[in-house]
A and B are shown apart, each in its own frame.
Chain A
Amino acid sequence: MTQVATPELAELELFRGVTAERLEAVAPCARRERHEAGRLLLRQGDEAASLHLLCSGSVSLELVVPGRAPLVLETLGPGELVGASWLLPPARVHFDVRAREAVESLRFDTGCLQRAMEADPGLGYLFCRRFMAVVVRRLQAARVQLMDLYGHPELFDPQRGRGR
């Protein structure tokens, strides 16, 4: 686990356009981490103390169902943010996040991040917008997944069978 320098952060899409001063405030919250294949980055039910920004490799979001193999809901790769539960109470991790291969990530201490955002509402607003963008995109993707486009669309067409 190594500390992260501000110039490194400045190169990331998440921090595009963020002033050096604000990056200084955030940098202490971040640690560079490596995870071997199969390891959990986040664990369902835990306190949501971390947020990961994936640098390389990919992870799977898994739902743990007792008595069944874990259900993979989505896989995420480089550039993706993992872990949004910390933003709102009760701040518990919803899914297991497992490394599908060797993964490098920036882990943010969410307590630290939250303090920085509260101390500087401008920064807080900016980050909230960027986290929101991720959440909205995932929600849209989840809805498309839910449509079961490639399955049997006739079963999912709510208008089927309506009058002439």
Chain B
Amino acid sequence: MEQLVIDVEGLQQLLDRLVQQVYEVIGPRVRHGVVTLAPLRSVSELPAGLVEVQAPGSYRLEPMETREGVRPLFVHRVGPESWRHFLHPPAELLWCAERKDGHLRIHPRAAEAPRRAFLGVRACDLAAIAIQDRVLAGGAHADAGYLARRNRLFIVAVNCTSAADTCFCHSMGCGPEVKEGFDLLLTELTGGGEHRFLVEAGSDAGANLLRMLPSRLPERGELEERRRRLRQTAEGMKRSLPPGAASVLARNLEHPRWQALGERCLACGNCTSVCPTCFCSRMAEKTGLDGTRAEHWRYQDSCFNAAHSYIHGGVLRHERGSRYRQWLTHKLLHWQAQFGTPGCTGCGRCIAWCPVGIDLTEEVRMLGEVAA
């Protein structure tokens, strides 16, 4: 694959070109003390020199020492939001119904999907998008809204040049290096105190756009820096999912540890809100006051809500431990049977954003050890 080098000005031109091509560019921006994903138009809006320091139950945005005198733009890693919030939004109107003169009419929601470009998609989140593709568009019945948004999507991925304490993508085989599923891929370089990006195209659209940017061929040292940074990121990852996690879970579907977990877990659903692959949703009906119109909405749901497992007569999963088990076994065991991949990419968001600091990698390890 051809690799070219652009500078920060080139990155700004990339944004400008995307805007010209009528893409709404969404990328990392600081808001309320966290890195969120929001529309942006300028490189100056990126979280330059900021790092998300994450640990179980903790997230802090901190300025870093400069790297070789440069304030990197993509050193922050992953915040609470993921691209899922745009591709499979938490609320979506599915259809409108109208009752008039005794007749019912049902209109599909106008399938007008925005043309969006995601800037700064990490390997873990790219893997998550691939997983959502299988879940929402890979079966016999595709989610039309998802498919429409997905088809109009342009992805600018970025290789991670450092890992947070909560990251474990390497052990999931999802990162830190981006391998596929992007239009353009950036690797941020700072060697020799020069701030620039190694760019690779992953699609025709990406290649066409790259051709319009002022670029040059990379030097050997730049390719070497790319390799070194990715190796250091992988090696610097402190967390890992123990190998054989799926079989550990399969053997321990009934285990006292689930109950102990249930005593810690608050069933707040934070993990499912920040997870880039969680897709559960419930349907709800909104009615107008005059009784002639109704809207059928899809809302994000969480398997930690009691109503998630409701069937007439009651709730199937009363215990919080059972709900946590549902979530974890779905991610790491049953997802495989349902969709042919695990449902976790190792982004670590659920660890950082759990208010009581439950760490799934640790839970799997404990289950494995107690069982052994």
Check A-B contact in the complex, CB < 8 A: yes
Q: Spell out A's residues near B (CB within 8 Å).
A: 152-154, 157, 159-160, 162, 164
Contacts of A152 in B (CB 8 A): 313
Contacts of A164 in B (CB 8 A): 267, 305-306, 320
Complex contact B306–A157 (CB within 8 A): no
Q: What would 17 more interface pairs be, CB under 8 Å, given A154-B312, A164-B306? A: A152-B313, A153-B312, A153-B313, A153-B314, A154-B313, A154-B314, A157-B313, A157-B314, A159-B314, A159-B315, A159-B318, A160-B314, A160-B315, A162-B318, A164-B267, A164-B305, A164-B320
Q: Is the interface of A mostly helix, strand, loop or mixed?
A: loop
Interface size class of B (residues with CB under 8 A): under 10
CA distance A152 to B320 in the complex (A): 25
Closest to A160 in B: B314
In the complex, the 7 A-B pairs of residues with the closest C-beta atoms, listed nearest first = A153-B313, A157-B314, A154-B313, A164-B306, A164-B267, A159-B318, A160-B314
Contacts of A162 in B (CB 8 A): 318
Return the CB mask of B205-232 against A: 1 if under 8 Å, else 0: 0000000000000000000000000000
Contacts of A153 in B (CB 8 A): 312-314
Distance in angstroms from B171 CB to nearest chain A CB is 32
Contacts of B306 in A (CB 8 A): 164
Contacts of B267 in A (CB 8 A): 164
Within 8 A of A (CB), among B267-317: 267, 305-306, 312-315
Contacts of A159 in B (CB 8 A): 314-315, 318
Q: Could you write out 19 A-B pairs with CB less than 8 Å apart?
A: A152-B313, A153-B312, A153-B313, A153-B314, A154-B312, A154-B313, A154-B314, A157-B313, A157-B314, A159-B314, A159-B315, A159-B318, A160-B314, A160-B315, A162-B318, A164-B267, A164-B305, A164-B306, A164-B320
CA distance A152 to B312 in the complex (A): 9
Distance in angstroms from B269 CB to nearest chain A CB is 10
Contacts of A154 in B (CB 8 A): 312-314
Distance in angstroms from B307 CB to nearest chain A CB is 9
CA distance A159 to B310 in the complex (A): 13
Closest to A157 in B: B314
Distance in angstroms from B315 CB to nearest chain A CB is 8
CA distance A133 to B313 in the complex (A): 32
Closest to B266 in A: A164
Of B267, B306, B313, B320, most A-chain CB atoms within 10 Å: B313
Distance in angstroms from B143 CB to nearest chain A CB is 28
